[in-house]
């Protein structure tokens, strides 16, 4: 492959949101970049979040004002630079008698949030009386309800696509990006002379690339990557597990997102309309195992169900109502003691010394602040490598799907046979890149057919995923490109049709196609690993 044996200014290890953002920023500044991801892009921590682009209202409790200000500033940028993926979200906070966060404290938090908001892109908060809140959300438990507040943050429905668009932008700017290419060794030979061993693609040969600087953006796997170079390095990561459940519409369900205080432990929980369903989470539990093995525990699922039923008494949710559940590990700095909620959510860009000289590790980070983290990281890389003195441009450059967005709706509507809801779905996922789908359909009309009774999913999307979006496996296509895998049935009704097209695109024989179906079923089995007895 082209990357093998080459010298790069920067090698980025990890293709989640932080690694993707760093690779894009560095490539835009003219650095030569190689990004290596052990699995698929955006398939771990970035995918298993609450899918919010938010200022961190809760961080005000811990006095992290700079983090809140940075988050609110970046929220504004993402609303401007990725409007097809990041949308305003109204959030309601019900306040109950005896809550840890009473009406006065919530009001003070709302005022601080408004003051710190950058550019006033979204409306300010509004405090609600008890009666106003009941009128607005009649399904709420009114016992002990004293009032509430409403404010705006933002939602990224498909966090996987936010990662992918950064990967696409990085590739267009000249970066070489490789998924399914795990790093197997790192050797620091001296300043500006690092050698990285990695496997090139699924089942590929081992390759070696040289770099002036290596950024370890492996998320909760940062310590494991550091151990490839120095087994004696001190622990830097101390991740916590956050679990979520996804349910359908329920009696009394809210019209907006809700930010509620759990009665059992006081932890904030979100109940968010999402993808035609409701996303409920999250928990916060220290996790010391392999992040790949993180899964929602029975107690966590029960906790989220019970707290939702308490807030919405008519819901009567049970395990049978859970479509699927997932968990991710937050890549937080190691802290042996103290409450999990008190561990800082600020990111740390750590420049290593001694045996790991030339290595930089990313500790922490959030979806919301990935771009500013990347800017800071690439500023450091530029100083270390002596390359790429160009100023950061990602604060003004839109992501690929935001280009041509105004024309995307008409282009989608012009696809023969596609329903109106299907046209809107394409815009929501691909934005202005609907034009690329049209190109495929115009050149290969057989790929213009729809795959579902609702006439909303195009065969051409499979081709786009493989040809221009780096998809190599069926699970990539279903769950992280076309996004049908996040529906209530995890995309089951479309799986065989998608697999057939993917087999032709990727030249799979019958044995490989069966293997890919097996991998997808195993992935879905993890999401549905719930004791419903």
- pLDDT reported for residue 62: 78
Q: What is the pLDDT of residues 309-350, one digit of tens each?
A: 999 999 999 999 999 999 999 998 887 776 666 677 788 999
- pLDDT reported for residue 3: 55
- pLDDT reported for residue 1: 47
- pLDDT reported for residue 533: 47
Q: Tell the burial category of 481 from Cβ atoms under 10 Å away from its Cβ (0-12, 13-18, 19+).
A: buried
Closest C-alpha among 47, 513, 11, 51 to residue 272 = 51
Cα 165 to Cα 94: distance, rounded to the nearest angstrom: 36
Q: Which residues of the chain are under the pLDDT cut of 50?
A: 1, 533
Q: Any idea what the Cα angle at residue 109 is, between residues 337 and 273, rounded to 5°?
A: 85
Cα 182 to Cα 201: distance, rounded to the nearest angstrom: 8
- pLDDT reported for residue 88: 97
* Residues in Cβ contact with 139 at an 8 Å cutoff, skipping those fewer than 6 apart: 251, 252, 253, 254, 312, 314, 315
**Cβ atoms < 10 Å from Cβ of 398:** 19
- pLDDT reported for residue 2: 55
| Domains assigned to the chain | 7-45+160-235+346-385 (3.50.50.60), 240-330 (3.30.9.10), 404-527 (1.10.8)
Cα 325 to Cα 279: distance, rounded to the nearest angstrom: 9
- pLDDT reported for residue 411: 95
- pLDDT reported for residue 334: 80
Residues 16 and 334 sit within 8 Å (Cβ to Cβ) = no
């Amino acid at each position: 492959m082209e990357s093998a044996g080459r010298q790069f200014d920067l090698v980025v290890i990890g293709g989640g949101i932080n690694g993707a953002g760093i690779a894009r920023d560095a490539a835009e500044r003219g650095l030569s970049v190689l990004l290596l991801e052990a699995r698929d892009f955006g398939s771990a921590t970035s995918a298993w979040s609450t899918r919010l682009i938010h200022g961190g209202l809760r961080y005000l409790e811990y006095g992290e004002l700079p983090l809140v200000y940075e988050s609110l500033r970046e929220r504004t940028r993402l609303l401007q630079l990725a409007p097809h993926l990041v949308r305003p979200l109204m959030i309601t906070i019900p306040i109950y008698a005896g809550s840890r966060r009473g009406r006065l404290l919530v009001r003070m938090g709302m005022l601080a949030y408004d003051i710190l908001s950058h550019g006033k892109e979204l409306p300010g908060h509004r405090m609600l009386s008890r009666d106003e809140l009941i009128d607005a959300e009649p399904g709420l438990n009114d016992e002990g309800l004293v009032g509430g507040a409403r404010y705006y943050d933002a939602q990224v429905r498909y966090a996987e696509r936010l990662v992918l668009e950064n990967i696409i932008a990085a590739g267009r700017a000249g970066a070489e990006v490789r998924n399914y290419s795990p790093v197997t060794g790192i050797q620091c030979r001296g300043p500006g002379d690092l050698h990285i061993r990695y496997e090139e693609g699924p089942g590929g040969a081992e390759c070696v690339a040289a770099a002036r600087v290596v950024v370890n953006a492996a998320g909760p796997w940062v310590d494991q990557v550091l151990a490839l170079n120095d087994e004696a390095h001190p622990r830097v990561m101390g991740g916590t597990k956050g679990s979520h459940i996804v349910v359908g519409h329920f009696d009394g369900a809210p019209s907006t997102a809700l930010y509620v205080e759990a009665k059992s432990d006081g932890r904030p929980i979100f109940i968010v309309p999402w993808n035609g369903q409701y996303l409920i989470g999250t928990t916060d539990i220290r996790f010391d195992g392999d992040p790949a093995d993180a899964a929602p525990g029975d107690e966590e699922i029960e906790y989220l169900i019970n707290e939702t039923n308490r807030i919405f008494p008519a819901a009567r949710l049970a395990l049978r109502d859970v479509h699927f559940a997932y968990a991710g590990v937050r890549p937080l700095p190691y802290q042996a003691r103290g409450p999990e909620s008190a561990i800082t959510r600020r990111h740390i860009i750590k420049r290593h010394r001694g045996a790991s000289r030339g290595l930089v590790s990313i500790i922490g980070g959030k979806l919301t602040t990935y771009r500013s983290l990347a800017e800071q990281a690439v500023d450091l890389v530029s100083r270390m490598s002596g390359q790429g003195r160009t100023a950061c441009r990602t604060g003004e450059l839109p992501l690929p799907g935001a280009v041509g967005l105004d024309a995307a709706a008409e282009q989608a509507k012009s696809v023969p046979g596609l329903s109106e809801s299907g046209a809107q779905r394409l815009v929501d996922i691909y934005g202005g890149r609907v034009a690329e789908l049209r190109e495929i359909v115009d050149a290969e009309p057989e790929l213009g057919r729809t795959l579902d009774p609702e006439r909303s999913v195009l065969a051409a999307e499979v081709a786009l995923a493989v040809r221009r979006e780096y998809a190599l496996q069926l699970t990539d296509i279903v769950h992280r490109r076309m996004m049908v895998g996040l529906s209530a049935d995890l995309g089951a009704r479309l799986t065989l049709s998608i697999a057939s097209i993917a087999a032709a695109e990727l030249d799979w024989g019958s044995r490989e196609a069966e293997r890919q179906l097996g991998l997808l079923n195993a992935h879905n089995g993890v999401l549905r690993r719930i004791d419903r007895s």
